[in-house]
């Protein structure tokens, strides 16, 4: 029995037709303009490409009813305006080389797309020409007309998506859209410190209110960038950020990365730029996470603003309609540069911890509540004479008798016990029965970063005095980090001992998974995991890291593949090894509750100063808190 395809008549056959420009622009708008923030991004980038020094962005109702971008750039002539609203018309490139791109925009799609879905008005004036204006609404363009404008360009977009009402249903609240616009403007402001940005919300009419402002900065690249990051990300980030500047094989990485103790609960403070273009790239964010891999727990995220500059031919920015993703010719080079540069900077930071740790400590020491009248209480701080103080202290000292209960306050003074660092003859003696001993001299120690040990409280916290303040050290956390760094150094020098399996474990995988796993086999072998192809789509696991003991090889291999899919690289084996080293360091470090002698405490402080990363424990928590004398005096009303 034979079957025959049904005959399709000419009237039923689908007809291929050319879409009109209006439909094409509306389709393109769906790719280029996803939401009001996308429109702001395109318009502000055009202003930057025009050489603007000051850019003002005004929005109403989250950008849904109005987006107005004003700049003082080079402007356009009356002949340029109709071309600017034509598809694929641009002054950025000539079309001969789609890789050698030095501007933000280059496709020539943004303005015609915006004009297709909203009411767009462009007013512009170029030097030596009269100002002109053009309007387009729903893809219908009006003739160019004269206008009044001193210089630059004003682009006004009203009623976004009015021509495609279905898109309006997918818009979020005005507040959410305004926040997204603010994020876009802040990213662009970080990329261009020499350009001034003002974002104003004019909802409801009038002058509105300024929600973000960044004045143009001049001077050295790092000084200008540091100042811009302080205004965008906050002074705390700027105070706790490390300068990054490294170059390798034609790629330069610069910017600022925060100390591990200045971490965030989510990846909201990670900003990456390629040739000044803000990007969201999985490979770059994975490299950033990898650089902090050994300093933060998995629920904490680093903060950084990093810029990659390279020849445009080494990176393709034309892989996404919104130009938010890039593709490097050699992604391994870019990733390796980020990891090595950040780790070098973190190592150079030594024992340094973020200033926010001290701020949080001071914040916990709440001052006395104001009086009922609301005015702050004034303290009398006149200092009495030495003779008066001596007599006062003598009068305050309690009189000891045989009937005094040692559990009462000041009772420890009976045994001449001192909280200062002393050479104890027998540390097993009770606190109230220690024999008098001379102080351990530590010449010049107060001038060192962590100062000179002055005492120990609760058998866990070392109190040290610096030239201008004091330091409180968690002895267990600090020594745990020191031991951990030694163990890592030994592992790096001697390698990871591998344990050969008596019977290799065969793991069946998909074809793509097998190839991807074998591509990183050499890296895994460095950490003691030996595997090789076993024919078909299977791999044979022949060795596992000895320190891990008995391992479920199949589960580990599949976890590694999941990490490769998610992050583009895997640190699972390294993470497990270093987790073991961390536990070993924890058990081998000075325990909480152990009383330390003065020389032991000072030796710990000196070792911390000489050991990289000692400012945070193995989980990213601070190992010490530094309090400045001025802050302490302010707590007691002395300032």
Contact 62, 173 (CB under 8 A): yes
Q: For all residues of the chain together, what is the average pLDDT?
A: 77
Alpha-carbon separation of residue 90 from 46, 112, 125, 167 (angstroms): 11, 11, 17, 27
Instruction: Give 138's Cβ-side CA count (13 Å radius).
Output: 4
Listed in order, strand segments (DSSP E) in 407-487 are: 452-457, 461-466, 469-474
H or E segment and range at residue 558: helix 553-567
Separation CA 192–CA 224 (nearest Å):
9
Two structure tokens written together for 530 = 């030996």
Contact 463, 453 (CB under 8 A): yes
Per DSSP, the three-state class of 424 is coil
CA 526 to chain centre: 29
H or E segment and range at residue 306: strand 304-309
Tell me the pTM.
0.66
At 309-346, the pLDDT tens digits run: 988 888 877 666 555 677 888 888 888 899 889 988 88
Helical axes 572-588 vs 475-494, angle rounded to 10°: 130
43 vs 489, which has greater pLDDT? 43
Contact 605, 440 (CB under 8 A): no
- Which distant-in-sequence residues (6+ apart) come within 8 Å of 512 by Cβ? none
Please report, rounded to a whole number, the percentage of residues in the chain having pLDDT higher than 70: 71
Instruction: Give 147's Cβ-side CA count (13 Å radius).
Output: 24
Cα-flanking dihedrals φ and ψ of residue 542, to 5°?
A: -105, -25
Two structure tokens written together for 261 = 């103790």
At 435-471, the pLDDT tens digits run: 333 444 555 777 888 888 888 888 889 999 988 888 8
Q: Residue 211's pLDDT is what?
A: 95
Same fold, 21-214 and 221-349: no
Separation CA 431–CA 428 (nearest Å):
9
How is 188-214 classified by DSSP, letter by letter?
HHHH-TTSEEEEEE-TTSSS-EEEEEE
Q: Residue 10's pLDDT is what?
A: 61
B/e letters for 19-52, b = 16+ CB within 10 Å, e = fewer, are eeeeebbbebbeebbbbbbbbbbbbbbbbbbbeb
- Which distant-in-sequence residues (6+ apart) come within 8 Å of 347 by Cβ? 612, 613
386-414: average pLDDT:
46
Two structure tokens written together for 555 = 């589960």
Cα-flanking dihedrals φ and ψ of residue 92, to 5°?
A: -80, -40
CATH match of 221-349 with 3.30.230.10: yes
Per DSSP, the three-state class of 511 is helix
Contact 511, 622 (CB under 8 A): no
Lowest mean pLDDT among 126-140, 195-209, 303-317, 396-410: 396-410
Strands 270-274 and 304-309: parallel
Two structure tokens written together for 230 = 């302080």
Only one residue has tokens 């745990």, namely: 480
At 413-438, the pLDDT tens digits run: 344 434 445 444 444 444 434 333 34
600-614: average pLDDT:
86
How is 51-84 classified by DSSP, letter by letter?
T-SEEEEEEEGGGTSEEEEEE-S----TTHHHHH
Q: Residue 72's pLDDT is what?
A: 93
237-245: average pLDDT:
90
Alpha-carbon separation of residue 99 from 276, 283, 320 (angstroms): 16, 20, 14
386 vs 418, which has greater pLDDT? 386
Q: Residue 496's pLDDT is what?
A: 72
pLDDT of 241 higher than 50 = yes
Tell me how many degrees the CA angle 27-28-33 measures, rounded to the nearest 5.
110
pLDDT band at 147 (very low <50, low <70, confident <90, very high): very high
At 493-519, the pLDDT tens digits run: 777 778 888 888 898 888 788 888 888
Annotated domain spans of the chain: 21-214, 221-349
How is 464-486 classified by DSSP, letter by letter?
EEETTEEEEEEHHHHHHHHHHHH
Q: Residue 437's pLDDT is what?
A: 38
Q: Residue 306's pLDDT is what?
A: 95
Strands 315-316 and 66-71: unpaired
pLDDT of 637 higher than 80 = no
| Fold designation for 21-214 | Heat Shock Protein 90 (3.30.565)
At 534-590, the pLDDT tens digits run: 888 888 988 888 777 777 888 888 878 877 776 666 666 666 666 666 666 666 667
Tell me how many degrees the CA angle 370-372-376 measures, rounded to the nearest 5.
30
Separation CA 151–CA 125 (nearest Å):
5
Q: Residue 579's pLDDT is what?
A: 65
- Dmax (CA) for the chain in angstroms is 123
């Amino acid at each position: 029995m034979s079957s025959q395809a049904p005959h399709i008549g000419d009237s039923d056959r689908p007809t291929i037709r050319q879409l009109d420009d209006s439909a094409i622009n509306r389709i393109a708008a769906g790719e280029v303009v996803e939401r009001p923030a996308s429109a702001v991004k395109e318009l502000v980038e055009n202003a930057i490409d025009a050489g603007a020094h000051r850019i003002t962005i005004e929005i109403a109702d989250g950008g849904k009813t109005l987006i107005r971008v004003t700049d003082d750039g080079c402007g356009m002539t009356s002949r340029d305006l109709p071309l600017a609203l034509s598809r694929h018309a641009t002054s950025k490139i000539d079309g001969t080389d789609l890789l050698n791109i030095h501007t933000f925009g280059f496709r020539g799609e943004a303005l015609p797309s915006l004009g297709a879905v909203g009411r767009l008005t462009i007013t512009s004036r170029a030097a030596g020409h009269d100002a002109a204006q053009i309007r387009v609404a729903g893809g219908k363009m009006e003739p160019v007309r004269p206008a009044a404008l001193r210089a630059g360009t004003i682009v006004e977009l009203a009623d976004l998506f009015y021509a495609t009402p279905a898109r309006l249903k997918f818009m979020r609240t005005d507040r959410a859209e305004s926040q997204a616009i603010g994020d876009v403007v802040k990213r662009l402001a970080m990329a261009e410190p020499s350009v001034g940005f003002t974002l104003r919300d004019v909802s409801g009419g009038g002058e509105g209110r300024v929600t973000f402002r960044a004045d143009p900065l001049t001077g050295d690249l790092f000084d200008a960038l540091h100042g811009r990051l302080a205004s965008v990300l906050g002074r705390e980030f700027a105070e706790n950020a490390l300068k990054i500047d490294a170059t390798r094989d034609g790629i330069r990485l610069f910017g600022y990365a925060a100390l591990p103790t200045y971490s965030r609960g989510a990846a909201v403070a990670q900003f990456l730029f390629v040739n000044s273009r803000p990007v969201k790239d999985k490979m770059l964010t994975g490299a950033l996470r990898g650089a902090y891999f050994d300093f933060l727990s998995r629920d904490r995220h680093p903060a950084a603003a990093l810029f990659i500059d390279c020849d445009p031919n080494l990176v393709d920015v034309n892989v996404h309609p919104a130009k938010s993703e890039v593709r490097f010719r050699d992604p391994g080079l870019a990733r390796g540069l980020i990891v090595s540069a950040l780790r070098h900077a973190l190592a150079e930071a030594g024992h340094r911890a973020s200033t926010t740790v001290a701020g949080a400590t001071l914040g916990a020491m709440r001052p006395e509540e104001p009086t009922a009248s609301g005015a702050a209480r004034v303290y009398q701080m006149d200092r009495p004479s030495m003779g008066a103080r001596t007599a006062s202290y003598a009068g305050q000292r309690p009189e000891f008798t045989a009937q005094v209960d040692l559990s009462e306050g000041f009772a420890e003074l009976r045994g001449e016990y001192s909280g200062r660092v002393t050479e104890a003859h027998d540390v097993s003696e009770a606190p109230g029965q220690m024999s008098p001993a001379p102080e351990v001299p530590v010449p010049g120690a107060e001038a060192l970063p962590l100062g000179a040990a002055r005492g120990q409280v609760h058998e866990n916290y070392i109190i040290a005095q610096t030239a201008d303040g004091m330091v409180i050290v968690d002895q267990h956390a600090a020594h745990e980090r020191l031991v951990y760094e030694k163990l890592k150094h030994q592992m790096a020098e001697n390698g990871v001992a591998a344990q050969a399996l008596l019977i290799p474990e065969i793991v069946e995988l998909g074809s793509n998974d097998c190839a991807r796993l074998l591509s990183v086999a050499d890296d895994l072998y460095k950490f003691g995991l030996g595997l090789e192809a076993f024919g078909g789509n299977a791999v044979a696991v022949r060795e596992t890291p000895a320190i891990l003991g008995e391992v479920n090889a199949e589960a580990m291999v599949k976890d590694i593949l999941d990490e490769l899919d998610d992050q583009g690289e895997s640190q699972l084996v390294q993470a497990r090894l270093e987790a073991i080293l961390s536990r070993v360091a924890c058990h081998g470090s000075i325990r909480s509750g152990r009383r330390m002698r003065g020389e032991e405490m000072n030796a710990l402080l000196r070792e911390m100063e000489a050991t990289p990363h000692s400012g945070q424990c193995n989980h990213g928590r601070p190992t010490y808190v530094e309090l400045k004398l001025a802050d302490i005096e302010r707590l007691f009303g002395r300032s």
